[in-house]
Amino acid sequence: MNFKVISLTAIVFFIITNLYSFETENSEANRSKTKQIFNKIVKAIGNVDSIRNVQTKGKTWQPIEQGSMTFETNVTAIFPDKFKVKFLDQEFIISENKGWRKYPKGYFENLPSSLIPEIMGNLKRNLINLLKFQNEYEIIFLKEKEVDGKSYDILQVNNDEIQFKLIIDKETNLPFQMIYESDEYEKPISIYRMIKEYKDFNGIKFPIHTISYDESGNKISEIKISEVKFNVEIDEDEF
């Protein structure tokens, strides 16, 4: 079963709204509200406690200078802090705070330390990581918004390495959008990642279609996942 949770009006709203200007309130009432919302998210996604790793296969679309390109992407994530991604003829491996590029002939090259936080941020924003290790994050309810007849809760999520905003569809209790800063481009920009579709894999709702926009509303990436496997046999010596 697929769960489609996107609205064009909502895309426009969240892109033009400066969510980073919201003030946080960490009162007892706010903490109680946050816990209620987060518990609903856990129930909606499913019990991820037993998930040690996930492997995904899919296709990624990105704009390039001459137009755009689509390529296959294979990702392995070992929670909480190991990550491998393969695309085209490139393979990148992250283990805690170290990273390597593996070349087709089998030799390795250390990644610049400046790249590692950006890549690791993707793993730290992974919903399974967030649910499994929620005590390592500070999660604060900011406010509720109604857009195009739908209601959304807005959460601020922080830990020692990253911070982002999580927009929750109150009808499904599933995350609808993430908003975060990226240093991947020529200058730091805000990324608006829309979760367009979920699919149920062994009782876990996993996002299989995401589209990311910059703060001007330009589409900068689209990922469609075709295969998801949990708790696969992995040679951790590669990490």
pLDDT in tens, 58-93: 999 999 988 999 999 999 999 999 999 999 888 999
First to last CA, the chain: 34
Residue 32, pLDDT above cutoff 60: yes
Q: What is the reported pLDDT for 110?
A: 94
The CATH H-level superfamily of 2-228 is Lipoprotein localisation LolA/LolB/LppX (2.50.20.10)
Question: pLDDT over 70 for what percent of the chain?
Answer: 89
Q: What is the reported pLDDT for 12?
A: 43
Residue 1, pLDDT above cutoff 60: no
126-165: burial string, b at 16+ Cβ within 10 Å, e else: bbbbbbbeeeebebbbbeebebeebebbbbbbeeeebbbb
Q: What is the reported pLDDT for 200?
A: 98
pTM of the model: 0.87
